[in-house]
Structure 1
Amino acid sequence: MARLNWGMIGGGEGSQIGPAHRISAGLDGHFHLAAGALDVDPARGKAYAEKLGIAPDRAYGNWREMLEGESGRDDRIDLVTVATPNSTHYEITKAFLENGFNVLCEKPMTMTVEEAEDIVETVRNSGKICAVNYGYSGYAMVRHMRAMVARGDLGKVRLVKAEFAHGFHADAADADNPRIRWRYDPAQIGPSAQFADCGIHALHLANFVSGQESQSLSADFISAIDSRTLEDDAMVNVRLDGGAVVRLWTSAVAVGRMHGLGVQVFGEKGGLRWEQEHPNQLYWTPVGGRTEILERGAPDLSPEADRASRVTIGHAEGMPLAFANIYADLAEVISAAKEGRTPDPVAMSYPTAEDGLRSMAAIRSAVDSASGNGAWTDARPPSMRG
């Protein structure tokens, strides 16, 4: 596989997500950071890009300069990561897709369902890839959960319990902290805060491991800190198209909880449990049997888990490695297209624009349901209602 040129928009010096992407993209040597528009301040962004080793003529002041500059190059980037504020995702992603670039967009993919529908249509028209960074689906044992469900180990899935609860926004004194306040500002994040920020990761995992999509939902939102316009805690019940039900709780005011992402799947033959803070272990309990701890890196796991396992058994697996599996998937699919071959089927697990669209539809549905006292609402995008 030839090395691919990669570009990044956003994720500049001091950002939370930028380093994770750069570590993840570079882990396997598939991608070379060739271009960037890394900061809203052009001078600062150019300086940091050059500090990272990007050539001066590919250290751009903004994304429009980058789009124009890369479009005219024979060695143009093969993939661009969009890691800018939520409200800019749609415009940037659409522009790069329309000009023939593959895109990995941070979640949420857009601010509205209509924008998400347009991105999906743009992908179809352009023939390019648009992936969305639901990066936790890259964990090896999450992929093994999905494989176990798909091969029938659990029988029919009845119930999925998903959580993403932390307590880092629980102090009312921090309500005006700029690093926190933007997460509850509708102009910057859209109509939902905690569910759109964290809960949607939990819902994506529930869909991913169960192999079923959200059909309808009922939501209850609260703002535990009164000054917040948007919710900081949510409970959402979801009915899936394969008959299973999701019980989802997400919170930013759960004092004592840290990252707090986990998923449990209960089927007619057994149950599975996984937590992101302990990613190496997957707990499997067959009906009438004892709980078994499945270890990442152990023999006799699925091909999906084997491909996603990066370090030897017993060593800690971290979030950048999960993100790296998304980048490895994209490298395989992009390279296969350039080389005129069929990609490895196991690499087709990356989250797509359709996943981003389903997430935006679920967010809108949850907002409508919460404002309607928990009324059940259709969680499907309009284009997927049939």
Structure 2
Amino acid sequence: MDRRRVEWHGLRPFHLGRLCGDARGRRRRTGAQRDDTYRLVCGAFDLDAERGRDFGTKIGVAADRCYGDYKELIAMEAGREDGVEVVSIATPNFTHYEITKACLEAGLHVICEKPLFFTVAECDEVAKLAEEKGLIVGVSYGFTGHPLVHQMAAMVRKGMLGEIRIVDMQYSHGFNSGDDVGAGEAVKWRTNPKTAGPTFVLGDIGTHLYYLSEVVLPHLKIEKLLCDRKAFIPTRAPLEDHATVLMHYDNGARGRLWVSSVDAGNMGSQRYRFVGSKASIEWSDAHPDQLIYEVQGEPNRILHHGMPYLEEESLAADRMGALHTEGLGDSWANIYLWIAQAIDAKRRGDEAFLRSHHYPGIKAGTGGVRWLENCVRSADAGAAWIDFK
């Protein structure tokens, strides 16, 4: 029985508010509404208030609940009996900390984009505030809702790979291969340290790799790290559009992670390979319904999502069944569902459920920021090996 779904049945949807830097983010919005776990009731949908109001009304939000900014949203919704309960934050990085704090102070749960904040100190402060308020902070690590990600985690946990020796991960695309002349606002703020923070591609896409590896390999901890980063487009410096990170884990395993937005011709893909002493597994979001399982001395196998030979954790996250292909929208829907279940459990005071329930929360967001801090420290030291702190 799918515990994660059963726990939700019969409960009313949370009232969701959406904060965006521009009127996009369809996969997040539709993912949130997929299971009727949230009902979109208000938002500040664009830095341009008029454009945001036009967008909001077109997707069914009442005009008087399309606000100019998050401060207006919080103030106006506070007096409503049907007011917002959860706020989804998909604004530029530099606003995450300020908006999250304001929402928590107003008694609202938060689902925030990654990287969560600029520093671990900010994460720790917000984690303390959320605990004091009895609220949940979820983080939009949307790729880890894929069923076969949890199949990999189960296989590692059961010892099917043996002792993990090698971790190899890649997330690259070519959409920033040219210079930024005439680039849109979404590119400009991501390559500006004041608005993006201390990294570009490491924070924008590298944190997805890091968190997914944490889901699959929760028992491995990084001891040392080396980060080499470069801006192939000079105007992006000191931020990087390409980076390689080498990692030493506490069991002796070795890791390599590389990210790039100047991988010319690549339309965007992630690849993960985890190698153990007995076998290896490999998964890519380009083929999310297939997992390659290679046992030393045996024929290679391709495992398909939704099949009864998979582990319970994978089947519990499956939405389509084996005959139909799952996609990113299904993965995002799982993430929002799992966060909704965490919010519900927090409201009911069910701490036992929260301790056993999987969802990307404040701890996951803090872990990503900690990893970024170490990457920057290594890169700024001339791509030096550093102790992971």
Q: How does the TM-score come out when normalised to structure 1?
A: 0.91
- Aligned counterpart for 1:78 among listed residues 82, 85, 92: 85
- Aligned counterpart for 1:328 among listed residues 332, 337, 356: 337
* C-alpha distance in structure 2 between counterparts of 1:175 and 1:215, whole Å: 41
- Pairwise CA distance, 1:222: 1.5
Alignment partner, residue 5 of structure 1 = 15
Q: Secondary structure at the match of 1:195?
A: helix
* C-alpha distance in structure 1 between counterparts of 2:189 and 2:34, whole Å: 31
* C-alpha distance in structure 2 between counterparts of 1:166 and 1:44, whole Å: 30
- Pairwise CA distance, 1:325: 0.4
Alignment partner, residue 265 of structure 1 = 274
- Higher mean C-alpha displacement, 137-146 vs 38-47: 38-47
Matches within 5 A, 1:221-370: 221-229=229-237, 230-339=239-348, 348-370=357-379
Q: Secondary structure at the match of 2:104?
A: helix
1:270–1:284 Cα contact (<8 Å) kept: yes
Deviations 1:85-142 (A, max 9, x none): 1110110011112222111100111122322222222222222111111111111111
* C-alpha distance in structure 2 between counterparts of 1:152 and 1:270, whole Å: 10
Distance 1:244 1:78, change over 3 A: farther
Unaligned runs of 5+ in 2: 1-10
Distance 1:122 1:344, change over 3 A: closer
Are 1:214 and 2:222 counterparts?
yes
- Pairwise CA distance, 1:204: 1.5
- Aligned counterpart for 1:21 among listed residues 22, 25, 28: 28
- Pairwise CA distance, 1:243: 4.2
* C-alpha distance in structure 1 between counterparts of 2:124 and 2:344, whole Å: 27
Alignment partner, residue 383 of structure 1 = none
* C-alpha distance in structure 1 between counterparts of 2:228 and 2:263, whole Å: 16
Q: Give the paired residue count.
A: 376
1:333–1:347 Cα contact (<8 Å) kept: no
Distance 1:315 1:25, change over 3 A: same
* C-alpha distance in structure 1 between counterparts of 2:36 and 2:146, whole Å: 19
1:35–1:54 Cα contact (<8 Å) kept: yes
- Pairwise CA distance, 1:377: 2.2
Deviations 1:283-309 (A, max 9, x none): 111232221111011112222211211
Alignment partner, residue 5 of structure 2 = none
Deviations 1:42-98 (A, max 9, x none): 233233222222234432221011112233333333321001111101100111122
1:330–1:347 Cα contact (<8 Å) kept: no
Alignment partner, residue 174 of structure 2 = 167
- Higher mean C-alpha displacement, 217-226 vs 45-54: 45-54
Distance 1:273 1:71, change over 3 A: same
Are 1:177 and 2:177 counterparts?
no
1:175–1:227 Cα contact (<8 Å) kept: no
RMSD over aligned Cα, in angstroms?
2.1
- Pairwise CA distance, 1:333: 2.2
Q: Secondary structure at the match of 2:289?
A: strand
- Pairwise CA distance, 1:340: 5.5
* C-alpha distance in structure 1 between counterparts of 2:299 and 2:151, whole Å: 19
Unaligned runs of 5+ in 1: 381-386
* C-alpha distance in structure 1 between counterparts of 2:36 and 2:152, whole Å: 28
Distance 1:243 1:119, change over 3 A: farther
Distance 1:176 1:117, change over 3 A: farther
| Matched residue type, 2:385 | W
- Pairwise CA distance, 1:344: 6.0
Alignment partner, residue 153 of structure 1 = 160
